[in-house]
Structure formats: C-alpha cells, structure tokens
Chain A
Amino acid sequence: MSDSKLYIKEMPADWVPGRDKQKVVSPEYMFHEAPREQVFITGSEAAREAIRRSNVDIAISYPITPQSETMQQAGYLYDEGYIGEYYRAEEEIGTMSAIGGSSRAGIRSLTATSGPGLMRGMEAISSWPGARTPLVLLNMCRVINTPLAIQPDNIEMSFLINSGLIMLHGENQQDFYDYTMAAFMISEQVDVTLPVSVSVDGFFVTHARGNVKMQADDLKLPPRDGWRSAVPAMDNENPPARISRDAPIQKSNFISYHMHASWQQEVFAATERAKKYINNYLGGIVEIINPDADVMLIASGAAVSQSREAVRQSSELGIKVGLIKVKAIRPFPKAELREACKNVKQILVPEFNQLGWLHKEVCSNLFGFTDAQIAPGPRVYGGMTMPTEMILEWLEEGRKDKPWFFQDPF
C-alpha cells in the first residue's frame, strides 16, 4: 500500500477563476474595435496572452522543445483560472486523441506541439477533420529529420497540408497572438467546424521578443456553443455515454465509398468556406506590398520578415520589389495569388525548408495564370534563419540575362 496523497492546491474560499472576471465580447469587437496596448514580449508570452482571452475550456499537451515554454505559460493560466482544465498527456498520440475527444464533447479545446511531436500525433491529427472537431493546434516548427535538432525548420507543415486541417502560418509574435485567437473563432463557425492549426517558426518567434498590440485582459471571446456546429457535440453527461460518432462518420468498416468520398469533399469544401472568416478576422488572407512590381517575393511565416527587409533594402538601392505574405496555407489563397501575379515577370519563393512546399503550392496554383518565371528558392533548412543578404543575392541574380536558378538541370 502506498501512503501517497493527492496534492491538490487548496484555493481560498473566495477565489474566483480569472475567466469568470472577464467580459464576453464579440469576435468583431475583439479583433477590430477593442483598444490595444503595445507590449514587448516573447512569442510564448504572446500565445499565453491569446489563450487568456480565448475562453479556453481545456488544454492538453505533452512537452517538446520549442513548444514547452508556451504550454508551461499555459500552466500559469490554469492556475489563475483562465483555462478550465489542463493536463499533460502521456505522449502525442494520447494528446491528440484526447483533445479530439474533448472537442467532440463540445468544449473549446487547445493543444500544442512541435516537429517530432506533430509526427507522432499525426494519426490522431488526421482523424480530426473528418470527425469535424473544432479545436486549435499550435505548432511551433522544429526540425523533424535525423540528425536530431531542436532548431526551426518548417518541413513538418508539408505533412499537414493535405490532412483537411485549416492551416495558418504566422510571421511573428503579433501574428501568433492574433492568429491563435482568430483560430478558435474560425474553427467553430457552423459552416467550417474544423480544426485549425497555427504554425510559427520555433525560437525565431517563440523565444524571441517582438512588439505585440494586445486588447485588455478583462475581455474574452464568446464561449463555444457545442450545439452550434455542422456535426453536433456528443452528449456525454446523460447515459449511455457514447464514445463514437453517429453513423455515417463512425459506423463500421462497411461505410460505403460514396459516403466516404462525399464526406471528404465536404471537409475540403469546408476549408474553402473558412476563407471568408480568415479574410474578416485577419484582415485578408494575403498582404501585398508593392503590388505593381515586376518581381514578386511570395512567402509565409518567418520568411516574410526577411523578405520585408529585402524589400526595404532593395528600395534603398532604387529597386522596387513586391511581396505577397501568404497567411493561410489551407485554404490556399489561389484566386488572390492569380490576380496579384497576372502581370508579374519573376517570382521568388523564400522558404525555411528543403522541400519547398510553398514553391510547389505556388507553382501548381499559378500554372496557366501567369507568364512569370518562378524560382525554386531561396531556401534555408536545418534550422538556420535566412539572411536578408541571401534574398538580395537571388534578386540580383534574377536581374541577369540567364539566372542560374532558371537553368537546366537546376
């Protein structure tokens, strides 16, 4: 027999959970109207502040660098009563399965992971969209390939691209803050009812400080209404408790392929329907700088920051370079890109991964809609940042008669 005791922190009798002291405001007020104050904080702190204002019912995660600092900060929020329930799962299969379950029960659910953790949880993660589970997955990008490293490299995002999740990719601490809050609201729209992932490049965003404009902390988003959903929440309070979805989502292995195919179509149609909410809450699915430039950089995540600096330094040299910031990878802003690139002559796609997954997206969506040549890079990987000097070199090469990156066999 063990004499172990349960060490539960006794709260004073008059303790009021932090979230009970906050005032509910509409997402429109929160995102567009509420006054904001600027603070200089790390990305992990920015995520914590977003979670504080998001009326989160449950958070479940398993620690992994560089995600751990954020979820340790989320622990403080639980202690202060801003998160309803919070626990560390056994590992990522457990985490991602459990958070799917909590979402199905109709409550606002949050989890977070990084590179290898995302890979481990992938089976459960790819079951979320079909189960129509609104929840938010924060993904602090990290190298996944051997040799082992903890540095940022966003190749893991390529594994999420075709899983049916909505995918936002934040550039900096401000985006991590804004996208996280917006993600909950996008995910729970009736015509969406899907999980939303918010990826940022680890360390460069999570462990670095930047300016973040935040609303007052006594405001919170409206709570989740589990019944206001494409697929209603399960009733887990009145017996018999159910552990599986109703047919046809989870019936048996005899599900017809017609049914399965139409279900998949519906999931991907729902990701497209999310675009109007992304446009509304994030102020557009793309941001375009110098739209009339002949040479355009197309980037997402941290690569946008480096591209902005390349645009600035180019303008100092008297050269106009354009930039399209892609905020969402799913739904992909293909109509916006086709329109923005119809007269462009050359496109460069700076990326923080070896594969060039954004380059592939850009090529397949622009094919037949632009005469621009699309350069396969510049790219850095293994965790290094992209020096602005590298983008400037590629831009300079692109101004030559025969840039090496357009030569066969490259």
Chain B
Amino acid sequence: MAEEVQRYNIRMAGVGGQGVVTASHIVSNGVVISGGHSSLVPFFGSEKRNAPVESYVRISNGEIYEIGEIIYPNVLMIFHAQVITLGKSYTMPFYSGLKKGGIIIINSRTPIPFSVDEERELEENGAQICYLPATEMANDLAKTELATNMAMCGAISGLFGLPDLTSLEASVKDRFIGKGIVVSGGTAALDSAIERKFAKKAKLLEANVKTLTAAFQYAIDQGWAKEAKKRRDEIKAAEAASA
C-alpha cells in the first residue's frame, strides 16, 4: 500500500484542453474530502487549446498557510511530452525549482530523450522520474483521451495515499454530478462537448473512475512509493551525516 506522506507540493504542467486545472481541483478537493488540507492556484494565459497551462496544489495533513504558485515543488506532473520537448511551460526548464529528491510523473509510455544538461541536472538533483502511459490508459479504458487527467490524478493517490482512492473518486463525482466545481469559463464549454459524447453523466463518471483506478494500481505495481521513500531516507541520512 502507498505510504502516506505528510506534506507535499505539486506543480502540474500541460497544454490547454488536457484538464490540468480540473485535475488540480479534483486532487485538491479529494484531499479535503479525505479530511486533509489542501489549496490550489492555476496559472494560464488566455484559455486556448495547446497553450501552456500550469496549476499548483499544496497538500498536507496539517494547516496550510502559503498561497500563490509553488516555486519549489516536491512533485511535478507533466501532462504532455511537449512541455519538455517543445518547452510549452511557464517554468523553464520544466524541473526548475524541484526540491532535492523530488518526483516527476510524466505522461509518456516511453522515456523522454532529455538533453545532456537536463539529464545531468536531474541526476544531480536526485529526481525520481516516473513514466505513466496516461493517454493510452484513457483511450483504452474511457475511450477518450480527455480522461488523461484522471490517470494523472490516480497515480498521485497511488504514490502518496493522500488523497486516498475513495476520496478521489468522491471528488470526481463532485466534479461531474455533485454540486459542481467552478473551474473556468472555458471548462464549461468543454463540459458540453464531453457530455454529447457520453449520453449519461453516470457513464462518464464510470469511465473516469475506471481510468483513475487503473493508474492508481499502476503506480503501486511500479513500486514508485517505495522508491520515493528510499530516496527520502537516503537524503535524510546524507543531511544528518553532513550536519
């Protein structure tokens, strides 16, 4: 089972239309449903497809005071390879500010060919890179790539246990058939498009939860949480030794 981490900050980066901001609302809301604390802030220019989008989520089992974008995250979620390969990001390079031993979840079936400098800096920083075939999962299980963000959310739960899967599912339910979440004007338009595809919201919810659960399981099967804990312990030991 995933180990519960007490306090972590995520920077999500992707391109317009992928549901990055929605994903941050779902994760954040899931944490609150589970009894934890969370806050989020999105960052985007004009709302248009394929333009860079970032969103930041703070998660903790204690009170959170900080607000605003996260300059020094522990976790990066890269929703689209173009964030790295084409530099579609407000934060360049994509890992800038990542804390030592930070985790990077990248939506890609195969490893991304980093530049020599990127490779070296990631190595020096002890970054743990996790590849998740989120778009493939969405296409296979929900029959639409629009569920990519669900896979990304599921992986976070599999890695950290906060939010737990049940709360995350409840959060998705809130988003689609619950009280509704105000995300942005553009998202409302997208909603009507996706609803045409799925005659019934219940069916939409089911497809989303299926993708969510599969990614959760994938993260556990890959042993990401164990690896993360190992790295945290190593860093702590090194800090203690140097102190």
Contact = CB atoms under 8 A, between A and B. Distances in A.
Nearest to A210: B39
Contacts of A72: 185
A73 B185 CA distance: 11
A69 B68 CA distance: 18
B71 A385 contact: yes
Interface stretch (A12-20, A301-309, A356-364): A301-309
Given A207-B41, A209-B40, A305 B182 contact: no
Give the size range of A's interface with the partner. Answer: 20 to 34
B67 A42 contact: no
A384 interface: yes
Contact of B25 (A152, A203, A209): A209
Given A40-B32, A45-B182, A209-B28, A384 B69 contact: yes
Q: Is the interface of B mostly helix, strand, loop or mixed?
A: mixed
Given A40-B29, A42-B182, A44-B182, A207 B68 contact: no
Contact of B68 (A41, A73, A386): A386
Contacts of B28: 40, 209
Contact of B65 (A44, A204, A306): A306
Interface in B175-214: 182, 185
Contacts of B8: none
Given A42-B182, A44-B182, A204 B25 contact: no
A312 B65 contact: yes
A207 B42 contact: yes
Given A207-B41, A209-B39, A210-B39, A305 B65 contact: yes
Given A40-B29, A40-B32, A205 B67 contact: yes
Nearest to A151: B43
B66 interface: yes
Interface in A39-90: 40-42, 44-45, 69, 72-73
Contact of A388 (B29, B43, B66, B69): B66
B131 interface: no
A227 to B, nearest CB: 39
A305 B66 contact: yes
B218 interface: no
B145 to A, nearest CB: 26
23 contacts: A40-B29, A42-B182, A45-B182, A72-B185, A152-B68, A203-B43, A203-B68, A204-B68, A205-B67, A207-B41, A208-B40, A208-B42, A208-B68, A209-B40, A210-B39, A305-B65, A305-B66, A305-B67, A308-B66, A309-B64, A309-B66, A389-B71, A389-B72
Sorted nearest first, the 7 A-B pairs with minimum C-beta distance are A385-B68, A308-B65, A208-B41, A309-B65, A387-B71, A204-B68, A309-B66
Interface of A: 40-42, 44-45, 69, 72-73, 152, 172, 201, 203-205, 207-211, 302, 305-306, 308-309, 312, 384-389
